[in-house]
Amino acid sequence: MSILIKNVNIVNSTGVESSVDIYIENSIIKDIKKNLDIEVQKIIDARGLYVLPGLVDAHCHLRDPGYEYKEDISTGSRSAAKGGFTSIACMPNTDPVADNPAVVTYIIEKAKKEALVNVYPIGAITKGQKGEELAEMGSMKEAGIVAVSDDGRPVMKSSVMKKALIYAGQFNLPVISHCEDLDLAEEGSMNEGFMSTKLGLRGIPAAAESVMVARDVLLSEYTGIPVHIAHVSTKSSVEIIRNAKKNGVKVTCETCPHYFTLTEEACEGYDTNAKMNPPLRTQEDVEAIIEGLKDGTIDIIATDHAPHHFDEKNVEFDNAPNGIVGFETALSLSYTALVETKVITLPQLVEKLSTGPARILNLKKGVIDVNEDADLILVDFDTEYTIDVSEFASRGKNSPFDGFKVKGKNMMTIVGGKIVYVADD
Amino acid sequence: MKLAVKDVLGLEYMTPQDIELILNTAKDMKKIVTGRMKRVNYLQGRTVITLFYENSTRTRVSFELAAKYMGAHAVNVSVGVSSVAKGETLIDTGRTLEAMGADIIVIRHSQAGAPNLLAKNIKASVVNAGDGMHEHPTQALLDMYTMREYFGTLKGLKVAIIGDIYHSRVARSNIFGLTKMGASVKLYAPSTLVPPGIEKLGAKLCSSIEEAVDGCDVVMSLRIQMERQKKALFPSANEYTRFFGLNPERIVNLNDNIILMHPGPVNRGIEMTSNLIDGKNSMINQQVTNGVAVRMALLYLLTGGQSQ
């Protein structure tokens, strides 16, 4: 298949190139020039649109195997494609847990058959995510994992975390840490603060996160092995990471769109679509996250796409599972909250959503250039539209953003030179 | 006469006009509760179901009697003997009870927001009889009724609430209700039992029990939930009593007209000494009587408030 995209503005993390043509042959970008005149099978006139390297998500949940009623590799990949993600790294909290090469192989093989986008499994740090014994990281790397993480079940024992860093370091596997001191979090189901007091719900203090961020930063400094902090949500976490970076610690981190667009007030009325872990925090935290994105303390934006069934969320707040879907809102929320408001530039947005995550996961992705993989998206940044969860391709409709007016709509997704998604209008 | 709302989920959501209407109506209801012939037909043909996911004696009996005194069918559902034990969801249980003809479902639940969830999913009226650490609106209404009956008005009253504020739905409902009706609220508790941001609800947090009770018209003591003691929120009952308990010395210098309240059940000698509980300033038994009257008023107004 050969494609010629005409009259497009290319946004890389390094800058914008206006009104050029992109020539794709098979799965590779063959040429980028003004006024290319080549015989191709398909010509796309993309005047007025921007082409970005396909987005890369370092943190999502595809629920497959084990929870296919929430999402599976096929539906998850369709949701990703619709949202503009061409490469996604999925967390190991499946059933069975991806803590061995067999489950990893299952995911990779199923993705080859059914997925519209590139799927990269993340293996567990410990067997069964139990935080006790190291999982077979080496064998899982051979099977295809790109990182290790115990996801929502933080490695509480510092000695295990220290060994995990050292061992993963030997295999050059990034370690992604969900930072939460479970002892401090107790049985909390939202942020501890005024809203938890008003709603009478048990709170998770901000310190439950930052205490463990500090521990992991110190362990990274001690071992000399990089650590990647998942979904940073608090002001104090941002400050700890900022200082660590200043001191040369090899720490990177991500946040998610909901941590810079929503506060704990979204839990009003016991809205379980505002329940996630870490929980939505306060306005002060939101501002600190935005500042962290601006000054580079926060390296990347991940979705933490966490689909759940309607029935699971339509229960008492305490009983509802954590998490919201994110693939189909991340780009527009990030653009609207960060670029429209001039917090960051368009190339910086590409850094946060594509080039940066690719670098952290050691993927050769996230760049539009000759001889690079043809993973591209075409985006309309000008037209405002309304988020409608009923239109999501994901099996999960659990989003607090239904009805939000945003800009930054993905119009087309190309993965490996194949058009896998085209917007209806 | 009708309330502006379908459900009574909390005093946060209730207008001062509705609170006033309930308290005024309760005045007439109290005559029935304290009279010899405890039977009117205001709720004849109506069905009131109490759905209790948490143990309770006084609140459940109070609602049941309130419904029965007005001629309603009153049915109790408690967790141990229901299909909840079989894993049925709250919404399904609620819809089942509604399908059997429930006009009002009175729910108590250990989780905050459970009544809100139920109300959103059924057409019958939902009355919150206490949800987790959130609200206990009928308790606060009966407390306010008791204060108003004694002092004639709530406006300008100074109320101190002492004890476990953190876990207390009674405290939250009283803060919402009292501040709406023009009273002021001071709080005092072991600092481990003060929920963050509580002052933003309009109450003043004090730094000593003396400061809290100074100049007060009402001192309300809250139950220490001994079952939560495994979390070590204060060192011992003995220490609690020394620093946070009410005893005659602590109120000796106060207005002779002061009233003492407690939502019950009381841990005698811990939150309050027995001579205060049984003394002339105590309103604890009146609170219980007023609870039935207030709940009658509420059920009556929720079903349309037509006098027969």
Q: How far apart are the first and last CA of chain B?
A: 13
Indicate whether A366 belongs to any domain. no
Decide if B111 touches A, using CB distance below 8 A: yes
Q: Are A183 and A211 in contact (CB under 8 A)?
A: no
pLDDT in tens, B43-52: 999 999 999 9
Decide if B109 touches A, using CB distance below 8 A: yes
Q: What ipTM does this complex have?
A: 0.94
Decide if A199 touches B, using CB distance below 8 A: yes
Region A188-217 average pLDDT:
98
pLDDT in tens, A244-298: 999 999 999 999 999 999 999 999 999 999 999 999 999 999 999 999 999 999 9
**Overall size of chain B counted in residues:** 308
Q: Give the integer Cα–Cα distance in Å for B252 and A94.
A: 64
User: What token pair was written down for B4?
Assistant: 């502006």
Burial category of A327 from C-beta neighbours within 10 Å (exposed 0-12, middle 13-18, buried 19 and up): buried
Kindly state the helix (H) or strand (E) to which residue A207 belongs, with its residue range.
helix A206-223
Residues of chain A contacting B116 with CB distance shorter than 8 Å: 269-270
| Total domains in the fold of chain A | 2
**Type of residue found at A6:** K
pLDDT in tens, A39-98: 999 999 999 999 999 999 999 999 999 999 999 999 999 999 999 999 999 999 999 999
User: pLDDT exceeding 90 applies to what percent of chain B?
Assistant: 83
Contact B112 A317 (CB under 8 A): yes
Decide if B136 touches A, using CB distance below 8 A: no
pLDDT in tens, A358-368: 999 999 999 99
| pLDDT, position B231 | 73
Identify the CATH number of the domain in which residue A82 sits.
Answer: 3.20.20.140
Do A144 and A31 fall into the same domain? Answer: no
Decide if B134 touches A, using CB distance below 8 A: yes
pLDDT in tens, A88-113: 999 999 999 999 999 999 999 999 99
What is the domain extent for residue A390?
A: 2-50+373-422
Question: Can you say whether the dihedral through the CA atoms of A276, A278, A282, A286 is positive or negative?
Answer: negative
Contact B113 A194 (CB under 8 A): no
Query: With a threshold of 0.90, does the pTM exceed it?
Result: yes
Beta partners for residue B178, in sequence order: none
Q: Which of A360, A387, A409 is the last residue of a domain?
A: A360
Do A115 and A15 fall into the same domain? Answer: no
Contact A200 B169 (CB under 8 A): yes
| pLDDT, position B139 | 98
Residues of chain A contacting B89 with CB distance shorter than 8 Å: 311, 315
Query: Diameter of chain B by CA atoms?
Result: 57
Does residue A53 have a cis peptide bond before it, meaning omega lies within 30 degrees of 0? no
pLDDT at residue A235 greater than cutoff 90:
yes
Indicate whether A298 belongs to any domain. yes
Q: Which of A96-100, B20-24, B227-231 has the lowest mean pLDDT?
A: B227-231
pLDDT at residue B191 greater than cutoff 60:
yes
Q: Considering only alpha carbons, which residue of chain B is nearest residue A202?
A: B133
Indicate whether A367 belongs to any domain. no
Confidence of residue B230 (pLDDT cuts 50, 70, 90): low
Indicate whether A302 belongs to any domain. yes
Indicate whether A38 belongs to any domain. yes
Do A265 and A413 fall into the same domain? Answer: no
Region A22-44 average pLDDT:
95
| pLDDT, position B254 | 78
Q: Which of B88, B108, B133 should we substitute to test contact with A (largest number of A Cβ atoms within 10 Å)?
A: B133
A45 an active-site residue? Answer: no
Region A156-181 average pLDDT:
98
Identify the CATH number of the domain in which residue A400 sits.
Answer: 2.30.40.10
Region A380-395 average pLDDT:
97
Region A408-415 average pLDDT:
98
Do A59 and A146 fall into the same domain? Answer: yes
Region B203-210 average pLDDT:
95
| pLDDT, position B116 | 98
Do A46 and A165 fall into the same domain? Answer: no
Confidence of residue B306 (pLDDT cuts 50, 70, 90): low
Q: Which of A311, A338, A360 is the last residue of a domain?
A: A360
Q: Which of B5-19, B114-128, B220-234 has the lowest mean pLDDT?
A: B220-234
Indicate whether A118 belongs to any domain. yes
Q: Which domains does chain B have, with CATH numbers?
A: 11-136+288-302 (3.40.50.1370), 137-286 (3.40.50.1370)
| pLDDT, position B41 | 94
Beta strands in A297-351 (DSSP E): 300-301
CB atoms within 10 A of CB B232: 9
Contact A201 B197 (CB under 8 A): no
Confidence of residue B308 (pLDDT cuts 50, 70, 90): very low
Indicate whether A410 belongs to any domain. yes
Do A378 and A235 fall into the same domain? Answer: no
pLDDT in tens, A414-425: 999 999 999 986
Do A261 and A380 fall into the same domain? Answer: no
Do A310 and A345 fall into the same domain? Answer: yes
pLDDT at residue B228 greater than cutoff 70:
no
Do A288 and A389 fall into the same domain? Answer: no
Residues of chain B contacting A317 with CB distance shorter than 8 Å: 111-113, 117
Instruction: Give me the half-sphere count of Cα atoms (radius 13 Å) on the Cβ side of residue B44.
Output: 7
pLDDT at residue A36 greater than cutoff 70:
yes
Do A220 and A304 fall into the same domain? Answer: yes
Do A252 and A302 fall into the same domain? Answer: yes
Indicate whether A368 belongs to any domain. no
Q: Considering only alpha carbons, which residue of chain B is nearest residue A195?
A: B197
For A316, the closest of B113, B195, B196 (CB atoms) is B113
Do A323 and A405 fall into the same domain? Answer: no
pLDDT at residue B81 greater than cutoff 90:
no
Q: Give the integer Cα–Cα distance in Å for B84 and B96.
A: 12
Q: Considering only alpha carbons, which residue of chain A is nearest residue B201?
A: A198
Q: What share of chain B is helix, strand, coil (3-state, %, to 5)?
A: 45, 15, 40
| pLDDT, position B67 | 97
pLDDT at residue A326 greater than cutoff 70:
yes
The label of the residue with tokens 């999982």 reads: A135
Decide if A200 touches B, using CB distance below 8 A: yes
Kindly state the helix (H) or strand (E) to which residue A376 belongs, with its residue range.
strand A376-386
Active-site hit among A21, A64, A151, A304: A304
